[in-house]
Amino acid sequence: MSIQGSCHCGGTVFEVEGTPDSALACNCSICQRKGSLLWFVPRDKFTLRTPDERLATYTFNKHVIRHRFCPTCGIHPFGEGVDPQGNAVVAVNIRCLEGFDIDAVPVHHYNGRDI
C-alpha cells in the first residue's frame, strides 16, 4: 500500500510506500519553525511524481540535509539525507500526506536542538 502526498498548490506531488507508524517532532531550529511531523523512510520507498527541478532546496549548518520545498506555495513536504549507516533516507512531513488519520500516529519528541 502506498500513500499520496503533496504541497498545498499541487506543484509538488509524491508517493510513499507504506503508512506512517510513528512520527518525530523535532525541536531543532528549522523543524520547530516548520512544525513538521517527520516520518523517515528509505529513499527507494519514496517516489517524486513531479520533476525534481520544480522543487527548491534549502540547506544550512553542515548542509547534509536537503530541505525540499515548493517555490510556489512555500510548503516543505520532505527532506533528503542519509542515516548513520549511510543509507539514503527521506524525512516525509506527514502533515502533507492524505488519506489516513494523522491524529492516530504516535508522535515522539526529539531533542534535535542539542545535537
Residues that bind Zn ion (CB under 5 A): 7, 9, 11, 70, 72-73
In angstroms, the CA 62 to CA 42 distance is 21
**Toward Zn ion, which CB reaches closer, 49 or 108?**
49
To the nearest whole angstrom, how small is the minimum distance from the Cβ of residue 74 to Zn ion? 7
Residue 27 is placed in which grid cell? 525541536
Q: Are 5 and 14 in contact (CB under 8 A)?
A: yes
**Toward Zn ion, which CB reaches closer, 9 or 82?**
9
**Toward Zn ion, which CB reaches closer, 73 or 82?**
73
Q: Could you tell me which of 89, 2, 11 has the C-alpha nearest to residue 49?
A: 11
To the nearest whole angstrom, how small is the minimum distance from the Cβ of residue 25 to Zn ion? 23
